[in-house]
Structure 1
Amino acid sequence: MDTSEMNRRAVAIMKYWDPFAIGSELYGKEIGDVVAQLQVLDHPSDLAKTIQTSYELSFGKWIPLEQCVDISYKLLAVKYEAKHII
């Protein structure tokens, strides 16, 4: 899996998540921020904090860190799958 495929899968995961139940089309900036950070972060807690902060800054609503950790594990699984396919 190449980086573009990894990014497509990560975007699909983030769109499906829809933490505020407002429709995935409204999360473009936040999804972009998270996918960009996925490239450099490898720890679920670090990525979860990025997710939480990005969405809170944009929407003024707080997402419990546990929910962000759950989604960060899914995103990191895609990242590690991309890295380990020969």
Structure 2
Amino acid sequence: MPEFMDIHHGMTGITADQLMEAHQADLAIEGEENVHFKKAWADPKSGEVYCLSEAPSAEAVQRVHERAGHKADEVHEVPLSV
């Protein structure tokens, strides 16, 4: 299944608890779109949050994020990794 990296901008000051809460919201509904969120990272200073997932499409990733209440600003397929 393809992997995707998505980016959320404007989350300046996000805490570890808030990141975990957002990630858990995604995990709670990811199966409905056949998406699996593997990991999330955040930089509270810049406000950038990154999520790595496996999904059938970028649109499926976005639908989960939207339903969980935090639409991604960018979703990129990651066709190569090492």
Q: Flag the structure with higher strand content.
A: 2
- Normalised TM-score (structure 2): 0.40
Q: Flag the structure with higher helix content.
A: 1
Higher relative contact order (CA 8 A, sep 6+): 2
